[in-house]
Amino acid sequence: MLSNKMKFILPVLVAIIIAILPTPEGLSVNAHYFFALFLGVIVGLILEPIPPALIGLIGVSFAATFGLVGETAKASRSWALSGFSNGVIWLIFAAFMFALGYKKSGLGKRIALILVKMLGKTTLGLGYAVAFADGILAPFMPSNTARSAGTIFPIAINIPQMFNSTPDESPRKIGSYISWVAIAATCVTSSMFLTALAPNLLAVSLVEKNTGIMIEWGTWFSTLAAIMIPLFLLVPFLTYIVYPPEQKHSPEAPAWAKKELETMGSITRNEIVMLGLGILALVMWIFGKQIGVNGTTAALAVLCLLVLSNVITWEDVITNKGAINVFIWFATLVAMASGLKKVGFLKWAAGLISGGLSGMDPVTIVILLVVLFFLFHYFFASVTAHTVALLPLFLGVASNLLPAEMIQPLALLLVGSLGLMGILTPYATGPSPIWYGAGYISQATWWKLGAVFGAVYLGALVALGLVIL
């Protein structure tokens, strides 16, 4: 493991080394220096020696201060602040408040317990209860860490202990099965809905900036649901076959859930209001285009209603460190990614890569790009860093080689892979370290299962690609 000092030094070192190398032919000096800074930011996001939002802010501030983007100081300032006026970034911020509402009102916990009570008589049923709880919350919670690790984990992790299944004693009895179902299901739900994973929203913004294509909530779901719903329903059963629990029945689980629900008491006013406002937001996201309502403004309106109805307080909004951190982080990353295009680096790099793919059949190129984009996640510990580093580049290559009508299907396949790729490693997505850290699944087993489920998920994506192209 690297020390924090080394984690701090490495990104700076990478940026300096790239900057002092000779500028490649066809690339401007400014673009070369900006790429060096950008690469330093990406390495920093992977290692995280300091908070990621601060890393993004440093990158934007340095690029603007030294005039790497923009011909004048005013133009540099406008570029540096452009991410903060991005509608998608505000949508992410508002959606984080919805997640807080589900947690604070207790509605998220109640939904999970009701499902355990209804489905938990068998271990397979428990797997479906955990998966359905995640699926129900997914459209409203853009942080799969808050959803899976923050809401599902505290409930699900109590169940194995009732059967003396602990990390040290009989983990395979039931604990390992539930842990894998939980992480495998949240990876699918993270790709099923646009608003189920914060990098999805970031990716949609990058697609619009780089191709001019806007992917709406309804377009995302209607296209990807063809594989995401079957995968979601398959996860508990496939895990049951590939990584079976030793104990097949769990009669104590429904009784425990019933007792927990009795402790919670009757459904509260705040839970009912949260449910109603959550459905309202979802309806406006799905049908916003038809009724002339923008998804971001709808989310902000519902956020105001959450505060006015006292489900959350204004103090909650202004002190929510997670939401504010993500707001600054993603706003700066959107600016950094747009800077690559602005200085001409993407055009240069895409042209370089396109040379090796030219002459191939367009469908082959699409499938190759999707497979490479997915597998490259083995090298990333952050879906956000992966998105910012690779998505604009892959879109640039596609724009050079593919007919215009194939760009949108490819973009949907690339952004739709972001949640699914979280299954690959114990560090691939936010909740992974939490479920891995529970101790029920060894690192070797996680890598093996990640390869198996990753192959299934990637195969489904490729199959969808062959259908929609």
Q: Which residues contact 200 (CB under 8 A, 6 or more apart)?
A: 142, 190, 191, 193, 194, 220, 415, 418, 419
Q: Which of 297, 318, 295, 322 is nearest to 307 (CA)?
A: 318
150 or 415: which leads in pLDDT: 415
pLDDT per residue as tens digits for the range 102-141: 888 988 888 888 988 998 899 999 999 999 999 999 998 8
- Per-residue pLDDT at 37 exceeds 90: yes
pLDDT per residue as tens digits for the range 193-243: 999 998 999 999 999 989 999 999 999 999 999 999 999 999 999 999 999
Helix (H) or strand (E) holding 203: helix 198-211
pLDDT for 429: 86
Contact 412, 223 (CB under 8 A): yes
For the full predicted model, state whether its pTM sits above 0.75.
Answer: yes
Write out the two tokens for 71.
Answer: 């011909």
pLDDT per residue as tens digits for the range 50-94: 888 899 999 999 999 999 998 899 999 999 998 898 887 888 788
Distance between start and end Cα atoms, the chain: 44
- Per-residue pLDDT at 449 exceeds 90: yes
CA–CA gap between residue 428 and residue 377 (Å, rounded): 7
| Domain range summary for the chain, segments of one domain joined by + | 1-84, 87-321
- Per-residue pLDDT at 337 exceeds 90: no
For residue 122, CA distances in Å to 183, 185, 261, 287 come to 19, 18, 19, 38
- Per-residue pLDDT at 276 exceeds 80: yes
CA–CA gap between residue 440 and residue 178 (Å, rounded): 9
Average pLDDT over residues 453-461: 97
DSSP conformation class of 216: -
pLDDT for 52: 84
Contact 385, 430 (CB under 8 A): no
Residue 122's beta-bridge partner residues? Answer: 249
CA–CA gap between residue 281 and residue 111 (Å, rounded): 18
pLDDT for 11: 93
DSSP conformation letters of 408-469: HHHHHHHHHHHHHGGGSSTTSSTTHHHHHHTTSS-HHHHHHHHHHHHHHHHHHHHHHHHHH-
User: What value does the mean pLDDT of the chain take?
Assistant: 90
